[in-house]
Structures are given as structure tokens and as C-alpha cells.
Structure 1
Amino acid sequence: MPGFAPPVNDERTALTAYLAHQRRALRVTAHGLTDEQARMTSPVGDLSIGGLIKHAARCETFWTDLVIGEQRGPRRKVDESDDDEFRLTPDETLTWALAAYTEAAGRTDAMIAGVRDLGQAVPVPQGLPWFPAEVGEWSVRWVLLHLIEETARHGGHADIIRESLDGATLYPLLAAAEAWPDPWFQPWEPTR
């Protein structure tokens, strides 16, 4: 798959194509990493690639549940702290986080396919400081735009962390992960 989202002909296709593109960019930051590397943080922060992927999965699950009016139980384990939201705990692996993200993305995609009108109302959760108290509802369209924004933001975090780990950047990682034949990018290879 090329490094850009495909051409789009309508709003729904545009939103889903750009969300898929941002997901792919986030996922590829983990290409070739061990669990230990996926837990590593930058020198000045607490975010890790594995933790960002875990968080992205939880975000998609939260928003999909909100759209379909379903609550699938607690998002966090009983003993999990806020810090655990953005890191892999000792019993979590990168493979697990990637699988959770794939599952969450599949649920989101199925939800989007099942929504007839992107203007459908979605209730705004109340009582949390980051949600505006004066807004009662968003639309599915707004949720999709927010998911694109959230995924892109955390993909940028993951890009910086990955580059600090081993110098790898997006296009060489994509070239390696997808076996690009393009001579413009030397595919990433692990350092020995």
C-alpha cells in the first residue's frame, strides 16, 4: 500500500480511508520491535509505542461503544492506574496490543458501515472535564474526525519515540513492513 490515503469519492470513504491510513502509520511504528522495545519511552516522557497502540485501541472501543450505545464493561483493570493507559503492563505484550487494536478497528469499521447517516446523534459523556458540559451531542461524523485526529496525534508521538529508539522513520518502516520494491526508500533493517 502506498504512503498516502487512496483517492476518495465521497465523505464516508474519505473519513474511513484517512482513519485507516493513520492506523496503519501508528501500527508500523511497532514493526520489528520486541516487547522490551515496545515498552521503552523517550528520554523525556512516559509514552511508549506499545502503550500508544494500547491506548488507541481503547479510544476506538470507547467511541464505537458510545456511537452504538453499548458499554462493554470497564476500560481499565481494577488495579490499573492512569499511567497504565499509555504503557504495556508486565502481563501485556506488543502482539496483544496490536491484536486489540485490530479488533477495535474492526468494530469501528463495522459500526461505520452500519450507520446510515453520519449526522446521527451521539451523546456527549457528562461529568468528565475534557468533555464540554454545554454540548449534549456530537455526530458520527464528528466522532470519525476525532478518531482521525487522535490516531494522528498518537502516531506522531510514536514516530518520535521510534526514531529515538533506533533511528527508524515512517517510509523506511513501511518499505520494510510491506516489502516495497521502490528504490526511493531503503527499507528499515534491524541493527545487529
Structure 2
Amino acid sequence: MPTASRRDRRGDTPPPRTGGSETDVLRGFLDYLRTSIAAKVEDAPEPQVRTAGVPSGTNLLGLLQHLTFVERSVFLGDVVTDWSATFRAAPADSVADVVARYRRAVACANDVLDGCADLAAPLPRPRSLPGRPAPSARWALVHMIEETGRHAGHADILRELIDGATGR
């Protein structure tokens, strides 16, 4: 298989070089992915940002809308009753609205994580949810890295289909 020459490679933002602790590494990679997907969406053109790029109906703005709900569910304990609906932004929501809502959810999630000294301990929850114990901070971080990374890959492809933009 041929390899790309240095001249042919695109200029990506490299993965983070974080501190040596498990928490620093996990949070560093999660924040890297969060920043990447928000940037992928924030300057995408209307109406393409909300137009389905594949037969399943997946669209760029819907991916970020969904990740907002996942952040709030995992870290804050918000209950989501219809996960399919989280993939659709309201017609009245602008790209800036969805990006700002996502960044607020990330900030709230980071506030919760800032109070977690032990990755094995359950996340603190603002309210008790019967039958739904809080996950450990470690599980929540790894799950969000997986979830955000998966959808960031989808976003990479959708954005390239929209206007050819590549890179992180």
C-alpha cells in the first residue's frame, strides 16, 4: 500500500500530549474530541449542516445535538426517553445555538469531573434516580471518548461531503 508523502498529508491537529496521570490522559483525549467535533460543526453552511448525508438521516448538526444529550445524561444524570429524537435539531435552532448548547453541556460535565478525585468512585449526581446508579468517573470518561470519537468520525465524513473540509 502506498504511503502519502509528507507534502500530500493534510494538516491535522495532533492528539494531545497530556500529563502522566490516568485522569489527565482521559480528560485530555475527551476534550480533544469535543473540540474537534464542535469545530467541525460551527462553521458548516446552512442548510447542508442539517441535511441528511446518508440514508439513515444522519446529519452534522444532529450529531452535535445528540452528543449534547449524551454529555448531560452521562455526567449530569439527565433522563432521555427517546434517543432517536436527540439526533434532530429543532428547525429554529441555528448552528450557533446547537454549538453553544453543546459547549455549555461540556462545561457542566467538566465541573462534575473537577470534583472527582477517584476515577473508581461513582459520579456525583445532582438528584437521585431510583434504579439508575451513577457510573464510575472512569466508565463515564471512557464511554464519552468512545461516543464522541465515533460521532466525530461520522462528522468528518459528513463535513467532507458538504464542502470538502477535512482535518481536525
Into which bin does the TM-score normalised by the smaller protein fall?
Answer: 0.7 to 0.9
Q: Distance in 1 between matches of 2:56 and 2:98?
A: 20
What is aligned with 2:58?
47
Contact 2:18–2:24 under 8 Å retained in 1 = no
TM-score by length of 2: 0.79
TM-score by length of 1: 0.70
Deviations 1:94-138 (A, max 9, x none): 1111001110110111111111211113599859xxxxxxxx764
What is aligned with 2:31?
20
> How big is the shift at 1:40?
1.4
Identity of paired residues, percent? 27
What is aligned with 1:152?
149
What is aligned with 1:30?
41
Secondary structure at the counterpart of residue 155 of structure 2: helix
Q: Distance in 2 between matches of 1:137 and 1:96?
A: 29
Gapped regions of structure 1 (runs ≥ 5): 128-135, 172-192
Letter in 2 for 1:162: R
**1:33-112 to 2 correspondences below 5 Å:** 33-66=44-77, 71=78, 75=80, 83-112=84-113
Structure 2 residue 7 is matched with structure 1 residue 10 = no
Given candidates 155, 166, 173, the residue that maps to 2:163 is 166
Deviates further, 87-96 or 14-23: 87-96
Given candidates 123, 138, 151, the residue that maps to 1:141 is 138
Q: How many residues align?
A: 153
> How big is the shift at 1:32?
2.4
Secondary structure at the counterpart of residue 89 of structure 2: coil
Secondary structure at the counterpart of residue 7 of structure 1: coil
Q: 1:137 to 1:58 in 2, by over 3 A?
A: closer
Gapped regions of structure 2 (runs ≥ 5): 1-11
Q: 1:58 to 1:125 in 2, by over 3 A?
A: farther
Q: Distance in 1 between matches of 2:117 and 2:18?
A: 22
Contact 2:50–2:60 under 8 Å retained in 1 = yes
Off by >3 Å, runs of 4+ in structure 1: 81-84, 122-127
